[in-house]
Structure 1
């Protein structure tokens, strides 16, 4: 009886990964989240014999990305196409797949907007929901309950708009510390710059600031890959 009473009291203060996952899954039908496989497991055919694309290696991009990854302190780096003849998003995608093979004990998470023709606010929601969708797989089975991880915020986020994005940012900020078990982590976010319109620029900056805090708490690295603006020509690898 005593254990039952204590269990109920304990449960009032705790939340489980399963509880949070149920709330987050509702976002997938709204924002078409980047799947767990795409975000955390995709290797694009890489194995220990397949090398990083020669055009990126010769251009020095691989060294830039490797130096960022091997930094002993949490770092944030932005990879753009200025001064280089490559697609930064594709470079980030290749690097994530390459690193998953070369550093199998690391956590390499990559998200991107599936619809780059969407309005800036929807792109921001796509990125934010995909981050939540996949960070949720890296949290402890049980953790302290906090007010912002509530159904009301998830419902508001699914409605979109400025207030919805604000709710999504509160959810992201409220996530518990990741459970990495000593593993290194790299988070790659592609095309956040497409979400930086007049009405969304401040919220895109808030997202970047929250991500920086999350990765710093987990001694991880954050890599942004910049997308070409609509109408600009991009040479694919």
Structure 2
């Protein structure tokens, strides 16, 4: 079977993703991309107006990959799983996907959490939310119908509130992973637990219904994102937490 031909836009995206990851977003120039691909400047600008637009497309690619992984796993549950079980499954898949992409996601965090990219980060966040919002809203409706979630609030309202909470937590986690926070690893984890408990209460989930993320798992994820080779000392274990930002 003859492999499908890769479009010029895909080539630019793939090579830029590689260069950004290896050299860093700020230090990679458009000329670096042109030279690596041996294409003219006009060819690049036919597909992308700027380096910022290119980063936006790459970040959205990441969101689409994570979303596709969640859909595949949730689909495997079919009609056997409850809405609560499918939400938990989606969170597990997202967590494992982040672990497998830790180095690339760190590059995204470093790029998007710079002062010069605030507007771009917000734009990417809105696109990512637009991608996954319908899925989580539908799973909440499913959980309300099958009784696994007891909240009587509108599913779209619950999803909006939960996404806002997750976004706020994600920012705090990102700053910690990038070494820009005074909070310790244990303090960030305790904050995760508080957010997690709040989300369970909002959904009307049984206590622990979304648990899958232990203190040890958080330490492992933090080491991966920070590029550390040796384990960090584990303080006394806390309860499990579902939302890892």
Give the TM-score, by structure 1 length. Answer: 0.30
Structure with the bigger percentage of helix: 2
Bigger radius of gyration: 2
Structure with the bigger percentage of strand: 1
Give the TM-score, by structure 2 length. Answer: 0.29
Higher RCO by CA contacts (8 Å cutoff, separation 6 or greater):
1
